[in-house]
Amino acid sequence: MTVTFRGGDANHVAAQSDTDVVGALSGVNKWYGEHHALVDVSVRVARGEIVALVGRSGSGKSTVLRVLAGLSTDHTGERTVAGAPALAFQEPRLFPWRDVRTNVAYGLTRLRVPKAEAARRAAVALAAVGLADRAKAWPLTLSGGQAQRVSLARALVGEPELLLLDEPFGALDALTRLSMRALLLELWRAHRFGVLLVTHDVDEAVALADRVLVLEAGRVVHTLDITDTRRSSADPSPNTERYRAELLDKLGVRI
């Protein structure tokens, strides 16, 4: 499977500094009416880094993502993002009346790419997620995993520096979820975009992230650095169990 979006141009990201921040919030507060949804939240995602944000339902994980994505305007604090971040949701959110390739090409809207070029790049991105043969298909004919891969292709076709993922594999069955994780890592290795992954799945966070933030009632209450991760389900980090236990403990889960 090819993982380049532009033939022969796969190294252009690696040439840049690895410590660049591609997305950051600093001291962000947000209220929903009386509810203090985010309390002095600071998050940093560097280029080529995967940061996971875990927390229970209602802890404010998705709100952090919405602020970073620019979908929220009424927050206070500082927001920095490199370019236009790409966002993939828990549901694929494809337009069912447009074929798969057109849906992927919509990921290039902000870049104002000419139509023919957009179609070509969409086809390449589809090939990268292993769906080259479904380019002409209607989205409603896809399986859940395929639709989510199209959604990922749409997010990545514009070669964003920051990819925001809102529980992207949460609605998939366990086996599909594993292959989606592998696909995400494969694409990430090839393009080295920064990722902020919102999830309630501790295993997923440990398997994918360089750093895991635990969010509780709108506050970042814990940060876990995963330095020795192998990022392969076949060869997990020897410390996986310890990381898992630490995160579950911080989330208030007793096992």
Chain residues binding another protein by CB under 8 A are 69, 71, 84, 86-87, 89, 91, 93, 95-98, 106-107, 109-110, 138-141, 154
Asked if 220 and 213 touch (Cβ cutoff 8 Å), the reply is yes
CB of 109 to another protein, least distance (A): 5
CB of 99 to another protein, least distance (A): 8
Give the phi and the psi of residue 69 in degrees, each rounded to 5: -75, -10
In terms of C-beta density within 10 A (0-12 exposed, 13-18 middle, 19 or more buried), how is residue 246 classed? middle
Asked if 204 and 52 touch (Cβ cutoff 8 Å), the reply is yes
Structure tokens at 151: 């959604």
Nearer to another protein among residue 98 and residue 219 (C-beta): 98
Q: Is the dihedral of CA 117, 122, 125, 131 positive or negative?
A: negative
Dihedral (Cα; 224, 208, 87, 102), 10-degree rounding:
180
CB of 35 to another protein, least distance (A): 20
Nearer to another protein among residue 121 and residue 211 (C-beta): 121
CB of 9 to another protein, least distance (A): 23
Dihedral (Cα; 31, 36, 39, 44), 10-degree rounding:
-50
C-alpha distance from residue 86 to each of 28, 137, 192, 255 (Å): 20, 23, 14, 36
CB of 142 to another protein, least distance (A): 10
Structure tokens at 132: 């080259």
By residue count, the chain amounts to: 255
CB of 175 to another protein, least distance (A): 23
HSE of 230, CA atoms in CB hemisphere, 13 A: 9
Separation CA 37–CA 29 (nearest Å): 7
Nearer to another protein among residue 108 and residue 206 (C-beta): 108
Nearer to another protein among residue 31 and residue 106 (C-beta): 106
Nearer to another protein among residue 32 and residue 97 (C-beta): 97
Nearer to another protein among residue 48 and residue 139 (C-beta): 139
Nearer to another protein among residue 14 and residue 71 (C-beta): 71
CB of 102 to another protein, least distance (A): 9
